[in-house]
Amino acid sequence: MSTTTAVQLEAFGNGTHEPNTSSLRPRAGLGDNTSIHQSEDPALEESRIADSTVPDGGHGWVVIIACAVVAWWVIGLSYVWGVYQSALVERNVGSPLALSFCGSLSPALMATVGMLVSRMLRSFGTRKLSSAGIVLMALSLIGASFVTDHLVGLVFLPGVPLGLGMSGCFMSFSVVPAQYFKRKRGLANGIVYAGGGFGGAIMSIATNSLIEKYSVEWAFRITGLLIAATGLPAAMLIKERTPLTTTGIVDWKLFRQVNFALLFFAAGIGIFPLLVPPYFLPLYSRSMGLSTGTGAALLAGFSFSSAVGRIMSGYLCDILGPVNTLGVFFLGNSLTMLALWPASTTLAPLAVFAVLNGLMNGGFFSSMPTVVGNVFGSARVSTAMGMMIVGWVAGYLFGSPIAGSLLQSHGGADEGLGAYRPAMFYAGSMSAIATILTVVLRLRISKKFVAKV
């Protein structure tokens, strides 16, 4: 029997908790404007059957906590790079542009191999793949501690092995929770991804303290050891309830759906600005004349708020619908970067920006698997998410470096706060475009102003 492989919102149910064929049947317009019946789309029928057997809790909560621990390191490391970047810029290892590229390489590689990893996931299982990912992540940071004075070395360590390890872990904790939850899938998914936000918050302060007390090198080594010590036991608990469906790497039929294309491009464009604030907040605060500790605290506030946003997003997906929720968070992300960040010339408004933008930033990651599962069927989400994540490659790889290039072309960090504004407007504009595409998707699914979509 095919199994559910990612978080999916209960499909427009009738308010009860029993499996209901009519409420789980895909509605007209879900894939395109034409009516889609179960008999015409086997994946959606498989999703309905799989959803009817989900236990909705029990041992699933243990799996959720284990996934959250692994997400702590995978997502948290993406956010904490800004602390390393600020310290390495101060040591003249490289420019903000070059170092932001080093930080972007890992998540970009994670996205690049997304479809391949989703296929490996169905062959080897989540336990083996997430365990191997943790080992790669730990070794990559320990290895990076020996090349901190060499920019090229930082590209390959932690860059490449960290990205490969992150991909195995990311796909694992993205697809497993839905095998254990149905009514609370949005919340369960939010808890998993919140682990990454909390990880980024605590690691930002801890990493800055390690750098100040010891060195960048020892910060890398200690973090690598902690990943192995806590991540491996958690990875051993991430196990699918039933075997994942074995299918091809790519479901080409999805590319023929306009709604898939809209979501693909909305997410692909919306990912460009997401790492700009966490990468540049410590540097921006330093340009304001604040201490490195204050910069780390701002990044911690951003990450903590991101964790709250992930839980909030999961809850709102269950209440408002995942597409509505995604659009709200894209819009909020755009407004905070276009209106609030440029006005943040003192600590107080900058702290408000860090909190609000972190809230909106976090909502994207926990709502995406829910949107994909709801619109395209939970039985093929490991394939659909793998395809979707590949669309994030350009945003992960070039999103922050473009901001760094704009900063550098306007005089760099030493030219004052005005030099950052082009990067702010670029990031906010990308989120605005993603918002528009999400609104178009929402209207294609349902033109009703008030609808759970």
Instruction: Tell me, yes or no, whether 12 lies in a domain.
Output: no
Instruction: Tell me, yes or no, whether 21 lies in a domain.
Output: no
Instruction: Tell me, yes or no, whether 6 lies in a domain.
Output: no
CATH code: domain of residue 32:
1.20.1250.20
Which residue range is the domain that position 85 belongs to?
26-445
Q: Residue 329 — pLDDT band, cuts 50, 70, 90?
A: very high
User: Is residue 100 classed as helix, strand or coil in its secondary structure?
Assistant: helix
Measure Cα distances from 111 to 72, 85, 93, 160, 364 in Å: 18, 22, 27, 12, 15
CA-to-CA distance for 426 and 338, rounded, in angstroms?
A: 9
Most confident of 82-86, 176-180, 199-203, 347-351: 347-351
Average pLDDT over residues 179-197: 84
Q: How many CB atoms lie within 10 A of CB 58?
A: 10
Q: How many domains does the chain have?
A: 1
Measure Cα distances from 245 to 125, 178, 242, 330, 379 in Å: 11, 14, 9, 32, 8
CA-to-CA distance for 416 and 439, rounded, in angstroms?
A: 37
| pLDDT value for 43 | 59
The H-assigned helical ranges of 248-392 are 258-270, 276-287, 292-319, 322-335, 347-376, 381-390
Reported as a single tens digit per residue, the pLDDT across 97-118 is 888 888 888 888 988 888 888 8
Instruction: Tell me, yes or no, whether 19 lies in a domain.
Output: no
* Contact status, residue 180 vs residue 56, Cβ threshold 8 Å: yes
Can you tell me which residue has the tokens 């269950």? 318
Instruction: Enumerate residues 6+ apart whose C-beta is below 8 A from 235.
Output: 66, 70, 127, 130, 131, 133, 134, 169, 172
Backbone angles phi, psi at 305, to 5 degrees: -65, -35
| pLDDT value for 353 | 97
What single letter denotes the amino acid at residue 173?
Answer: F
Q: Is it the case that residue 28 has pLDDT exceeding 90?
A: no
Give the DSSP letter of residue 418: G
Q: What is the dihedral of CA 75, 79, 84, 90, to 10 degrees?
A: 170
Instruction: Tell me, yes or no, whether 5 lies in a domain.
Output: no
Q: What are the structure tokens assigned to 186, written together? A: 């949005």
Can you tell me which residue has the tokens 């608990």? 237
> What angle do helix axes 276-287 and 347-376 make, rounded to 10 degrees?
180
* Contact status, residue 417 vs residue 288, Cβ threshold 8 Å: yes
Reported as a single tens digit per residue, the pLDDT across 235-268 is 999 988 777 665 566 777 888 889 999 999 999 9
Instruction: Tell me, yes or no, whether 159 lies in a domain.
Output: yes
Instruction: Tell me, yes or no, whether 17 lies in a domain.
Output: no
Q: Is it the case that residue 49 has pLDDT exceeding 80?
A: no
What single letter denotes the amino acid at residue 449?
Answer: F
Instruction: Tell me, yes or no, whether 255 lies in a domain.
Output: yes
Q: What are the structure tokens assigned to 45, written together? A: 């029928």
11 vs 313, residue with greater confidence: 313
